[in-house]
Structure 1
Amino acid sequence: MGSNSIVLLLWKQLRPRQWVKNFLVFAALLFSFQLSNFDAVLLSFFGFITFSFTASSIYILNDYKDREADRNHPVKKNRPMASGLLNPSLAIGLGVILLGLSLISSFLINKQFCLILLVYFITNVLYSLYLKHVVIIDIMIIAFGFVLRAIGGAIIINVPFTPWFLLCAMLLSLFLAIGKRRHELTLSLENKSSHRKVLDHYSLPFLDQLTSIVSSATIVSYAVFTFTAGDSIHLMWTIPFVIYGIFRYLYLIHIKKQGGAPEKVLFEDRHILVTVILYAVSVVVILTLFE
């Protein structure tokens, strides 16, 4: 196999498409009026890269551990290690390098941010080994990972984060995690995917009730966040985007039977993508005009 093919396999193994989740690191930069601060922008970008590299090291570890089982899965069998095209030792070596670079560089720049990365890595390893099989805790751990991204984004540029900001991040993350579990359960009941052990403890009515609670709480929390945002109270004009985005995602989950991969929905559903773009533009304009 040529060197170009190996590089492409390694790139695929990193799952760069999943890195879209790490854009939450930029939230603190956006809401703290730091967009014109070049140093803050660079630090946020550094945070995004290190979170992405750390996440990729976790993906490598998961794929290495599950490579035998993945070979019997209709989709996962095409993953680089499961397919036999990528040497597992080479992949593990890359994962160690990425994790080492992320932790060492972040330690040199900001020790608190390094701690956040370390907690993120350890939590995800525990999730992979055991916690993903514990009902309710599994979706809470997924949400915790997003909260760590939001906190890390604030710490790396040394700005305070409000409780309402973190609550919004946590609730939105729970909303996406519950939607993911519902999608997996739906496919499992239709015998179209492998069966997760934890799905035995869930039911569609239960997940629908959780979705109703969390989606309502997310909208209310975001509204309170904008109303208490001080000089940027005009962020309240972005509430319709948040409501529509949540309603659209609920439509995709319940009607279109999607929601298994939020990052995939973001790029494939035009309505969600346009809503996210309009929301981001609106926030930038509002914070710029009323700074």
Structure 2
Amino acid sequence: MAERTTGVGTGVTTGVTTAVAVLDPPAPARRAPTRRPTALARGLVRTARPRQWVKNVLVVAAPVAAGQLGSWHSAARLGLVFVLFTAAASAVYLVNDARDAEADRAHPVKRHRPVAAGIVPVPLAYATGAALGLGAALASALLCNAMTALLLTAYLAMQLAYCVRLKHVLVVDLTVVTTGFLMRAMIGGIALGIPLSRWFLITTGFGALFMVAAKRYSEAVRMEDARGATRALLTQYTTGYLRFVWQLAAGVAVLGYCLWALESGGVSAGSLLPWRQLSVVAFVLAVLRYAVFADRGTAGEPEDVVLRDRPLAVIGLVWAAMYGMALADL
């Protein structure tokens, strides 16, 4: 009797299942999403980091510091250098994201990058990066002087070595990123044949180290519970060490700038105020303001900190005005 009941139940169940299957047939297998050319193009542009291009404005740092940015020829040459350096930096970003695609998928933010998200294929990222890098190096050799081409090629080689190996080497990673900023600041002066002063190199180099170490410190603070899954090297740094580095770098940058400002005497002929010396106040205030974000662990990308904090932007404008007045008195 039990067996008959089971058989009836099975038959009814089978009949109902068949009826449901007929009324609601299984959905067809999903096809792999096709990549549209516009989506690929947008993904490549995003991977090239347009927001990071503002860093390349540093190519005008040396000519501005020397007060030699007053001709169309100089402006055109610097514009060319800006474009070439932007292409080189974009090439590095593309190669870096292609190499780190798997690791980036484990990162809460980086997993949205086009290569990690599957919008841009890894081979295409490599190919585009290689084309941009080789194009920038070749164009610099043909259109600029030999030292400019050499510096740009050295930047590409160093940054690619960073992507492959150096970013996993303790302390060297900080040095390479800092040197990248310093090269940006140097290349404009080299392209125009402007001698680079020792104070310019000291202030720019240690100022860059200050921002790089502050960013690493902020990453270590924010990702303290998940550092191994985001940036493995952070597990080898302590927050105390990174704090020491950015504090040391900030102090040396301020000292270098003060020595430059005080190198000459008081008020120069035809000037109402000692703008060169007064600019120290704005420079120190800017460093102190930036250090607030570093101390809180919220100093991410330098351009984000500068552009989003209104008081810091105002201090920067005041410093630029004072520095401009100091150059006008030279």
Structure 2: distance between partners of 1:169 and 1:27 = 9
Question: Unpaired runs of 5+ in structure 2?
Answer: 1-34
Q: Does 1:157 align with 2:184?
A: no
Matches within 5 A, 1:176-195: 176-191=211-226, 194-195=229-230
Q: TM-score scaled by structure 1?
A: 0.92
SS across alignment from 1:189: coil
Q: Does 1:220 align with 2:255?
A: yes
Please list the CA deviations of residues 90-119 of structure 1 after superposition, one character each: whole Å capped at 9, or x if unmatched. 332322222122111111121110110111
1:13 to 41, 47, 69: 47
Amino acid at match of 2:276: L
Alignment-derived partner of residue 26 in structure 2: none
Question: Residue 253 of structure 1 aligns with which residue?
Answer: 294
Match of 2:124 in 1: 90
* Distance of aligned partners of 1:252 and 1:110 in 2 relative to their CA distance in 1, 3 Å threshold: same
1:59 aligns with 2:80: no
Matched, 1:273 2:308: no
1:36 aligned residue: 70
The Cα RMSD (Å) is 2.1
Task: Kindly name which structure, 1 or 2, has the bigger radius of gyration based on alpha carbons.
Answer: 2
- C-alpha distance after superposition, 1:164-219 (max 9, x if no partner): 11111110011011101111111222448834332232212222222222211111
Contact 1:135 1:201 in 2 (8 A): yes
Higher helix share: 1
Distance in 1 (CA, whole Å) between partners of 2:53 and 2:228 is: 24
- Aligned pairs for 1:63-78 (under 5 A) are 63-78=97-112
The two structures have a TM-score, normalised by structure 2, of 0.81
Residue 287, structure 1, aligned to residue 321, structure 2: no
Task: Measure the CA separation in 2 of the matches of 1:139 and 1:119.
Answer: 17
Which residue type is aligned with residue 282 of structure 2? F
Query: Deviation string for 1:220-274 (max 9, x for gaps)?
Result: 101112233797974222112211111111111223x211211221222222222
Residues 1:119 and 2:159 aligned together: no
Q: 1:238 aligns with which of 245, 260, 279?
A: 279
Distance in structure 2 (CA, Å) of the matches to 1:219 and 1:134 = 28
* Counterpart-to-counterpart distance in 2, 1:223 and 1:193: 40
Contact 2:46–2:114, Cα closer than 8 Å, also in 1 = yes
1:63-122 deviations in Å (ceiling 9; x for gaps): 000112212222111111111112333332322222122111111121110110111111
Distance 1:223 1:106 in 2: 35
Identity of aligned residues (%): 29
Change (3 A) 1:193 1:133: closer
2:140 is the counterpart of 1:99: no
Count of paired positions: 289
Instruction: Assess if the C-alpha contact under 8 Å between 1:188 and 1:194 holds in 2.
Output: no
Cα displacement (A) at 1:25: 0.9
Which moves more between the two structures, 200-209 or 165-174? 200-209
For the Cα contact (< 8 Å) 1:226–1:234, is it kept in 2? no
Distance 1:80 1:48, change over 3 A: same
Residue 7 of structure 1 and its aligned partner are, at CA, apart by 2.3
Question: What code does the residue aligned with 2:309 have?
Answer: D
**1:14-44 deviations in whole A, cap 9, x for unaligned?**
1011112212111112122222111111111
